Every structure is written in structure tokens, then in C-alpha cells.
Amino acid sequence: MVSQVVSFELVYRACSVYTAFRNLLAEKPLNEYGLCVGSMEQVRTIVAYHVSKPDGGWCYIWRNAPFLSERKRHSDPSKWLTDGYYFWTDSTHFARHWGETAYNNSYTISQCTVAVPEEELLDLVGNVEDQLFFEKLFDRLKRIYEKEKRPLRYATVPDVIDWAREKKFLPHTAIKASDCPKGAINVPFKVESQAKTERDGKAERLMLPTRQQLCVFEGYEKYFETVTVIYPEAFRLAVENVYELQGRGCDEETKKRRIAQ
């Protein structure tokens, strides 16, 4: 009798596992190897650097950065990926340069970990498919401008983004783009004399460094996983002091007193 009960429990558990697995397969397709795909959302994690004015002090910056950048006018050239949260990616190199030039050397840098679902990121830096997609959008907008007798010089990157988002052609929540800044170097892939013997007579070149930015649109602040202030040094040390207090398990009064300092 006991063995029959045990056998029944084993069969019941096996059936339960099979039913759960079958339901999973019904929701998720299989790849060519018979493995379930799409069960985990692919996420791109980017280390990025946000530049802002130091107004309000280190505590205000730490609690509120990054800040939304909005155009004062539609043609504002500084918001080259339209309105959103702007970051320099991978290195503080261009973040520091932007702080020195755009903020008169009075600026802060917040290091952020941004986690964007792959399908929501339009990567115009490292994804050829995304680049070709944007090229099609650009060509389509140019045809509209030509039909309306509008100057093609106004068909800029932010114009393409604004138009595509308005028409629901661009469902992405973040865009990564780059350009080649002044002072970038170009390193030839071939010796110049070899290139002259080829059909076009030009040597392909590697442009370094490219100036890369990430823009996350408003409403998707949930993708900012961690934010900490790393510049100026006084701000960085103040934030580290708070982390140290949290690690020690100090009481709230001690934390408030040390933060006020």
C-alpha cells in the first residue's frame, strides 16, 4: 500500500513538471537546437557619465542626477538626439571636455549604470542593422522635404528622430550615436602607396576617438540602476563618506550630522 502511494506521488510530481514545462514551451518558441528562447530579456548595460552644473551641492546632485535636457527651441543644436537624459559613454574623456567648454569648467560628473533592453536601444554606433534602419528613415524624410519644397539642410538627426517618433516609426526608448570630433586622429589601414594602386585610390582609415553619447528618453528613468558623483573631488569624497557610514550601520542622527559637514 505504501509503495503504491509513493508511486502515485512520483507520477503526480512528474506530471506536474511535464505540464509546467509544456506550458512554458507554449509561451516560448524553440531555437534550432530545441532550446527555449526568449525566456530572458536581453539587456545592454552601459557605464555612462552625466555632466551637470554643481548648483545645489553634492547631496542635491547625488539625489537628483541625471537631469532631463529639454530644448529651449526646436532647433537647439546642443540636444542633437532630441530631449532626454544625456550621457557620455565608456570614459570620462568627453564628459570632462564638455564640462570645461559648455559649463565654463564649473561642473559635476555623475557615473551611472544604465540598463536598457536591447530591443529598445537604437545603437547607431555598434549595430549595422540599426544604422541601415536610420538611413531609411532619413531617406524617407528627405523625400517628404523635397515634396514640400523644404531645404534639405533642415533634415538633421534630431529632425529625423522627432518625425519618426511622432509617426510611431521609432519605438525605441534610448539612442546611442557618435561623431568624429575636432582633433580626432585617423590611422590608415594600408600604406598610402598601396592604396593608390587600388581602384578608388583612397586608403581606409580608423578614426579615433569617436565621441559617443547615449540619450534615454523621458519616462524611462527606471533604466538608471546606480548613480554616484565622481567629480569634483570634494563631491566624490562626500558621497563616499555616506557609503562608509551606511556600511558601518551608523544611526540616522550620525549620518545627518556627517552629511551636513
Spans of all domains in the chain: 1-40, 44-235
**pLDDT band, residue 129 (cuts 50/70/90):** very high
Range with the poorest average pLDDT among 9-13, 106-110, 184-188, 196-200? 9-13
Specify the residue for cell string 585617423.
186
Where do runs of H (alpha helix) occur along the chain?
2-27, 57-64, 93-102, 128-147, 157-166, 192-196, 233-248, 252-260
Q: What is the model's pTM? A: 0.77
Please report, rounded to a whole number, the percentage of residues in the chain having pLDDT higher than 70: 72
19 pLDDT above the threshold of 80: no
Residue 169 scores a pLDDT above 70: yes
Q: Is the peptide bond before 158 cis (omega within 30 degrees of 0)?
A: no
Q: Percent of the chain at pLDDT above 90?
A: 59
Give the count of alpha carbons within 13 A of 198, CB side only. 11
Among the four given CATH numbers 1.10.260, 1.20.1540, 3.40.50, 3.90.228, the one describing domain 44-235: 3.90.228
**pLDDT at position 184:** 87
